[in-house]
Structure 1
Amino acid sequence: MSSTYNVIVNGGGLGGLSVANALQQLGIQVSVYERATELKEMGAGIVLAANAIKALDKLGLGEKVRSLGSSVKKAEIRTWDGKLLVDLPVHKQAEQYGTYSYLIHRADLQNILYENLNSGTVFLGRKLVNKEQDTSKVRAIYEKKEVVEGDLLIGADGVHSKIRSLLIDSTPLRYSGFTAFRGIANFEDDRFPLEQGGGFEAWGHGRRFGYSHLGKGRIFWFAAINTPLATLKNSENKKMTALEYFKGWWGPIEAVIESTEETNIITHEIFDRKPINSWSQGRTVLLGDAAHPMLPNLGQGGAQALEDALVLSRSLIKYPEDIEQALREYERIRIPRTTKVIRGSRAMARIMQLENPISIQVRNLLLRTMPTSLQMKRLEWLVGYEV
């Protein structure tokens, strides 16, 4: 495929910037159109398991991520009051997969992806209103009647994707049953030294708290709270709300919430969609959260977008004369895997967010007694995967 081949990417988040990097690496011409007037990721951390790090290595960006992020060299699951349930075998996993997992600020990752692109690739302040296509071209139509023509349009515009709504019948968002609080603080605790990296999750009744090093002396924390839709999202005082839910919990939990600036706490209602069996139509295709929004319980949203980016770019090179064949190849490889991740994330959410005391006792007993070898085998298909 010649470098004159022209791809339009709608969306400048992690998925859009990843696919732009993958395409440019293969000599394919690409432009990214983002509706925001500045590239600004929400103030939260993102975990990159071995499969994501390997994908970044293939883009030539793995080392930058390792230097700006924090390696996960400690990962515990505890009860709400601190009893150890699982000490995850992170060192054995790193040995098996060739890399540790890393936690990095989403804005830092976005910046790494953006700065690696050719100058002038990304256009900001472009809100898509429609698209048109025929057998030879696709046109993305933006506000103020701006029309951009290309050979392929990639919808990487997130969970509320405009391109998805233009492409396929609406598959409604499914509320997970929990709302997340996320915060970043400058904070230290001797039980989780900075040089070790990583952290813990504490699981209670219908609520869960995670604490992890983010690099540069910062802690990223999250809280997942079972609650009906639209009850917590617009909390007036997010810090106070989080403190109420986690009063008396183990270790550094209350202290790290307390030390977080109100402006550094965000809330999200967590949604996914039911998996679908086609992401494309003609010269338009979906990628990342636009194609397969998933719950964060396996920590794979960003990783799956990175895998999509590499597979899609390779498929276009494999079938340089036949876009529809290239898109079928991309779907053939990616849909079964992302469907499995969506379902796995749902199943994991049910386990993590349990409320019934007897079910919790059974779960905790199973976790305490699970052999290390089984812990590793359980996730091998996911984090041991190399795209």
Structure 2
Amino acid sequence: MGDTAVVVGGGIGGLAAAIGLRRVGWEVTVVERASVLDDAGAGISLAANGLRALDELGVGEAVREASRGQYRGGTRTPGGGWLARMDGAVLEKAVGTPIMAIPRSTLHRLLRDSLPAETLLIGSEAESVQQIGPGTVRVSCGDTVLDADLVVAADGIGSKVRSLLFPAHPGPVYSGSTVLRAITEQAVELRTDFELTWGRGAEFGHIALQDGRAEWHAVLNLPAGTRFADPLAELGRRFHDWHDPIPALLNATRTDAVLHHDVNELRTPLPSYTVGHIALLGDAAHGMTPNLGQGACQALEDAVTLAAALATGPTVEAALARYDAERRPRSQAVARAARQAGRVGQQLSHPLAVALRNAAMRLTPSRAAVRMILRHHGWVPPQLS
């Protein structure tokens, strides 16, 4: 069994993989192409499966201390009527924790703080990844060349490593939705911890953060590449007559704080998450739509599963085979479920379809909704200790 690894990508999945590998005795270098770690991003919700993974990585307690539990909220119509309510206390009783909300920048910092500073090689882009021998992979980053027993590709949905390993794969495709999001500049008065509001081909949601601010997002059905000269003004026009606190959230936000990204996904599943001594992880392996809030949680599951497999496998090859067998079916099933959730949720635009969906949601017992959530949140990690 080898003991040196290079992780390509310093996002949530890559940092978690590095932490996990170090916990089972590997020497790790994380290659991150960004030259400045400004931790751009808005907020993120972490479900029980992601929190359990963070516990196994040794950072769960710190993440919980910086997070806010999501206890009160649900899904509404633009006029403010409730389609479904979710009681976080019921979820906590079922899985041991409510969903927790945290600024993405804080999560990045906490993960980085769990690694020695010298582990991170910033401002370096992996230009090529080659298997140069039966057990050696070479990563070339300009003048820097790194040889390792294992490479973990956590370089996002546009993964360059994935395209090298699977040149015939079509890669990411546009989901049909684009998302604008931000964290408010100051604290806002909220009556709930989280909400989703579904209109016709549009969604607005918020999560309350520990310091009183809120992360909000707006999802719209638009052609790929659509951008607005003044995103806040455009959102104000589209959502001005939606219920409180939506206008207040927009008014509490700086224009330059708004992030705008098209929602892409790996609609064609990969045939494998491993090739030789290279493993794909997170969005590079199974980039999915955000409709279930499981993208980061699945990357965290990947990281713990990979580390556990390498800790117990007789060879790297056997460990990677186990990783692929355990992670590919589950993560691809979650990706399909997320895609379907978007199609029956935010992406619906026909008035009749929207009315039928709303009626079905009102008639669905809360117990059934909790059972659906548990399918994804109930994952239990392997132990790394």
Q: Same fold (TM over 0.5)?
A: yes
Aligned partner of 2:94 in structure 1 is 96
From 128, 131, 144, give the equivalent of 2:129.
131
In 2, distance between residues paired with 1:278 and 1:291?
9
In 2, distance between residues paired with 1:160 and 1:187?
35
In 2, distance between residues paired with 1:163 and 1:42?
23
Aligned partner of 2:312 in structure 1 is 318
In 2, distance between residues paired with 1:138 and 1:158?
20
Displacement after TM superposition at 1:277 (Å): 2.1
SS at match of 1:291: helix
Aligned partner of 2:166 in structure 1 is 168
Does the CA contact (< 8 Å) of 1:12 and 1:39 recur in 2?
A: no
Matched, 1:203 2:198: yes
Does the CA contact (< 8 Å) of 1:202 and 1:210 recur in 2?
A: yes
In 2, distance between residues paired with 1:191 and 1:372?
20
In 2, distance between residues paired with 1:214 and 1:151?
41
In 1, distance between residues paired with 2:360 and 2:286?
30
In 2, distance between residues paired with 1:230 and 1:264?
19
Aligned partner of 2:157 in structure 1 is 159
With normalisation by structure 1, the TM-score equals 0.95
Unaligned runs of 5+ in 1: 193-197
From 120, 123, 135, give the equivalent of 2:118.
120
Equivalent residue letter for 1:310: V
In 2, distance between residues paired with 1:220 and 1:288?
23
Matched, 1:8 2:6: yes
Please, which moves more after superposition, 162-171 or 339-348?
162-171
Please, which moves more after superposition, 341-350 or 370-379?
370-379
Does the CA contact (< 8 Å) of 2:138 and 2:147 recur in 1?
A: yes
SS at match of 1:181: strand
Matched, 1:283 2:277: yes
In 2, distance between residues paired with 1:172 and 1:52?
26
From 350, 356, 365, give the equivalent of 2:343.
350
With normalisation by structure 2, the TM-score equals 0.95
Displacement after TM superposition at 1:70 (Å): 1.1
In 2, distance between residues paired with 1:340 and 1:40?
33
SS at match of 2:176: strand
Unaligned runs of 5+ in 2: none
In 2, distance between residues paired with 1:286 and 1:326?
13
In 1, distance between residues paired with 2:303 and 2:41?
24
Matched, 1:272 2:257: no
- Superposed CA deviations along residues 244-298 of structure 1, whole A, max 9, x for unmatched, are 1112100110121122001111101000012212021111111001111000000
- Superposed CA deviations along residues 137-173 of structure 1, whole A, max 9, x for unmatched, are 1100112x32101101110111111111111123232
Does the CA contact (< 8 Å) of 2:188 and 2:252 recur in 1?
A: no
Aligned-pair RMSD on alpha carbons? Answer: 1.2
Aligned partner of 2:139 in structure 1 is 140
Displacement after TM superposition at 1:66 (Å): 1.1
Aligned partner of 1:195 in structure 2 is none
- Superposed CA deviations along residues 337-379 of structure 1, whole A, max 9, x for unmatched, are 0110110010000011210111111111111111121111112
Q: How many residues align?
A: 376
Equivalent residue letter for 2:258: I
- Superposed CA deviations along residues 169-210 of structure 1, whole A, max 9, x for unmatched, are 232322111110001112322523xxxxx2211110100000
From 17, 22, 25, give the equivalent of 1:24.
22
- Superposed CA deviations along residues 68-87 of structure 1, whole A, max 9, x for unmatched, are 11111112100011001111
Matched, 1:333 2:333: no
SS at match of 2:291: helix
In 2, distance between residues paired with 1:181 and 1:373?
32
Displacement after TM superposition at 1:130 (Å): 0.8
SS at match of 1:86: strand
In 1, distance between residues paired with 2:281 and 2:41?
23
Aligned partner of 2:187 in structure 1 is 187
Does the CA contact (< 8 Å) of 1:43 and 1:264 recur in 2?
A: no
Does the CA contact (< 8 Å) of 1:275 and 1:342 recur in 2?
A: no
Does the CA contact (< 8 Å) of 1:354 and 1:360 recur in 2?
A: yes
**Is the alpha carbon distance of 1:382 and 1:329 closer, same or farther for their aligned partners in structure 2, counting shifts above 3 Å?**
same
In 2, distance between residues paired with 1:377 and 1:100?
14
Identity of aligned residues (%): 36
